């Protein structure tokens, strides 16, 4: 059985800032690459509150059937509300369901897609197989997943002033955190780089890979809406002890990654010290970063002669 964390995943960490993950003109290009104007049935797996399917909906054929599936009842309700408010002319259905046992019949979707779902699964291959099962022969499976090992080691204006030994230590901690999480059965944070191979192993054809061109620069005076959303997210994470500031998860991941109690305590203190230093630099209007990351779009086609 796949190991699931009982709490929501990305939905617990990302709020308004998720709305700034994509450039509009890039979505236009992606829609052409994926021929979304020929998609009459779209299944959004692990849909959260409908951010991803909401972005894609405008490109589908008129009257397209949009179905979102998520295991969290709160997300399903949130997605229904979001579509009613923001896209009342684009009917969509949202239901509870497991990505490893989708409540859909075989070959029912022209396109099955997910965004930041597979990195949370111990057995992403099973979810990919389910997405293939519910997609018609000739249809597409599209997954959008990051490499968060790379993204955990982002550079900012504080990097040059941080001693090299400290930076090496932080890189080692990032690797232990990511590998520890994988060993705990909570998913592989660098899955984006592995997806093309997983798609090929599952029998998909015409595999294509792109990177999102969206960066989230953080530049004084931090007045842009997306920067304000980032600041609010960081403040929320710290206040709630969520996201990267959940000490129990942080400790468990590091321990599974091979760190002892002394190293864990030091890593936690370094994290807090780094957050405080970031805060001082932000208050002084000295903190800046380009805000790029690795965020892959991987598409594959179900063979015309179904592989199921």
The pLDDT value recorded for residue 30 is 98
The pLDDT value recorded for residue 245 is 78
Give dist(CA 132, CA 11) in Å, integer. 25
The pLDDT value recorded for residue 13 is 43
Q: Cα-flanking dihedrals φ and ψ of residue 174, to 5°?
A: -60, -45
275 vs 37, higher pLDDT: 37
Question: Average pLDDT in the 87-106 region?
Answer: 94
The pLDDT value recorded for residue 86 is 87
Q: In what order do the strands lie in the sheet with 295-301?
A: 92-96, 65-70, 41-45, 109-115, 135-146, 295-301, 205-211
- Quick one: pLDDT band at residue 16, thresholds 50, 70, 90? low
Q: Give percent helix, percent strand, percent coil of the chain, each to the nearest 5.
A: 45, 15, 35
Question: Average pLDDT in the 102-122 region?
Answer: 97
- Quick one: pLDDT band at residue 17, thresholds 50, 70, 90? low
* Both tokens assigned to 252: 């468990």
What's the CATH number for 10-147+190-214+293-301?
3.40.50.150
The pLDDT value recorded for residue 99 is 98
* Both tokens assigned to 284: 């002084």
pLDDT tens per residue, range 74-84: 999 999 999 98
**Burial grade of 102 (CB within 10 A; 0-12, 13-18, 19 or more):** buried
**Burial grade of 86 (CB within 10 A; 0-12, 13-18, 19 or more):** exposed
The pLDDT value recorded for residue 10 is 46
pLDDT tens per residue, range 27-50: 999 999 999 999 999 999 999 999
Question: Average pLDDT in the 48-73 region?
Answer: 95
Question: Average pLDDT in the 160-179 region?
Answer: 96
The pLDDT value recorded for residue 130 is 98
Q: Quick one: which of 211, 210, 208, 200 has its CA closest to 299?
A: 208
**Whole-prediction pTM:** 0.91
- Quick one: pLDDT band at residue 4, thresholds 50, 70, 90? very low
- Quick one: pLDDT band at residue 1, thresholds 50, 70, 90? very low
Within 10 Å of residue 114's Cβ, how many Cβ atoms?
Answer: 25
The pLDDT value recorded for residue 91 is 84
For residue 283, pLDDT over 60 is answered with yes
Mean pLDDT of the chain: 91
Let me know: does 106 contact 265? Beta carbons within 8 Å. Answer: no
- Quick one: pLDDT band at residue 233, thresholds 50, 70, 90? confident
Domain regions of the chain by residue span: 10-147+190-214+293-301, 151-179+218-283
Question: Average pLDDT in the 74-101 region?
Answer: 93
Handedness of CA 50, 54, 241, 187 (dihedral sign): positive
Strand partners, 70: 96
């Amino acid at each position: 059985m796949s190991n699931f964390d009982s709490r929501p995943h990305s939905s617990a960490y990302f709020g308004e800032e998720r709305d700034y993950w994509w450039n509009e003109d890039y979505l236009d290009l992606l829609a052409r690459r994926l021929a979304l104007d020929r998609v009459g049935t779209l299944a959004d797996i692990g849909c959260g509150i409908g951010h991803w399917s909401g972005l894609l909906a405008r490109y589908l054929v008129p009257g397209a059937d949009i179905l979102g599936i998520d295991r969290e009842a709160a997300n399903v309700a949130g997605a229904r509300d979001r579509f009613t408010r923001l896209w009342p002319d684009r009917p969509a259905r949202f239901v509870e369901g497991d990505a490893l046992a989708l409540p859909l019949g075989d070959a029912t979707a022209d396109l099955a897609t997910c965004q930041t779902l597979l990195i949370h699964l111990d057995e992403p291959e099973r979810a990919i197989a389910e997405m293939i099962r519910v997609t018609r022969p000739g249809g597409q499976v599209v997954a959008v997943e990051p490499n968060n090992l790379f993204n955990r080691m982002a550079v900012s204006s504080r990097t040059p002033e941080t001693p090299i030994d400290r930076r090496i230590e932080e890189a080692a901690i990032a690797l232990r955190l990511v590998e520890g999480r994988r060993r705990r059965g909570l998913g592989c944070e660098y899955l984006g780089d592995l997806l093309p191979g997983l798609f090929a192993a599952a029998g998909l054809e015409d595999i294509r890979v792109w990177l999102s061109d969206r960066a989230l620069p953080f530049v004084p005076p931090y007045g842009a809406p997306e920067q304000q959303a980032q600041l609010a997210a960081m403040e929320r994470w710290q206040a709630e002890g969520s996201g990267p500031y959940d000490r129990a998860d942080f400790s468990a991941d590091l321990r599974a990654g091979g760190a002892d109690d002394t190293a864990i305590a030091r890593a936690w203190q370094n994290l807090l010290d780094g957050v405080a230093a970031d805060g001082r630099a932000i208050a002084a209007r000295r903190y800046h970063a380009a805000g790029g990351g690795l965020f892959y779009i991987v598409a594959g086609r179900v063979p015309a002669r179904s592989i199921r």
